[in-house]
Amino acid sequence: MSLFKKLFGSGNDASDEKKEKEASPFNPETKIPVDEMFTFNFKKNGGKFLYCENLEEINEQFLNILEENDWFECEAVCYESKLFHLLDENKLIYKNTSNPKFLLASCENLIADEGSVLLTSNQIKQKKPHELPANIVVFATTSQILESKSDGLREIKKRYEKDYPTNITTIKYFEKAKEEDFLHYGSAAKNLYLLLLEDL
């Protein structure tokens, strides 16, 4: 409890005592599930979250994103052949593009404690975040949600024993910060949509 509240009191003493008890070292913290933690932090960072139960809903939500942004008949960037069908079905140009409106990509993992998206050269080649389009649509599954960045790096190491990917990066800021501080220095804010497929 703050010194001012102790000296002058507050009209809400009961709730202050409750908060103090909750923060007590004798009262164990209740741990938030990683999927809830990710959702909260991702939205706090400005990301747009679209939960899908099946592939049909993925296609439907992708179409909604195209409509919302008027991205029909435009250029896109995609480096993963497993996602080309989404672009082909909607007649989007993604080969030899000069002015792409958005990047369509999968990801390595979703990092819950930061609300960030972990990408490697498998999704973005050797491009730095600031070299990518301002708009990104990421396709991921609920099984890809991990608690921390170190968990994500361990998972990459386990998944790729031989062809270890390069250019490992996270994208964390999904809207321009109102006040730039040293935490935002050098980061490129992206307008990011996450199509999250339930697979657990």
CA 113, 116, 122, 128 torsion-angle sign: negative
Query: Three-class SS of residue 122?
Result: helix
Higher pLDDT, 174 or 94: 94
Single-letter amino acid code for the residue at 193: Y
Tokens 């082909």 belong to residue: 88
pLDDT at 167: 94
Over residues 86-123, the pLDDT tens digits come to: 999 999 999 999 999 999 999 999 999 999 999 999 99
Length of the chain: 200
**Among 10-24, 56-70, 116-130, the least confident range:** 10-24
Averaged pLDDT score across all residues of the chain: 85
Whether pTM > 0.85 for this model: the answer is no
pLDDT at 181 over 70: no
Nearest to 100 by CA among 131, 126, 63: 131
Average pLDDT over residues 3-9: 40
**Among 33-37, 52-56, 159-163, 164-168, the least confident range:** 159-163
pLDDT at 27: 58
Query: Three-class SS of residue 19?
Result: helix
Average pLDDT over residues 33-47: 95
The answer for residues whose C-beta is within 8 angstroms of residue 146's C-beta and 6 or more apart is 34, 109, 110, 111, 112, 152, 155
**Among 43-57, 81-95, 134-148, 163-177, the least confident range:** 163-177
Bridge partners, residue 135, by sequence: 102, 191
Rounded distance, CA 96 to CA 7, Å?
68
**In contact, 40 and 115? CB cutoff 8 Å:** yes
Residue 111: phi and psi, rounded to 5, are -100, 115
pLDDT at 1 over 50: no
Rounded distance, CA 110 to CA 114, Å?
9
pLDDT at 189: 82
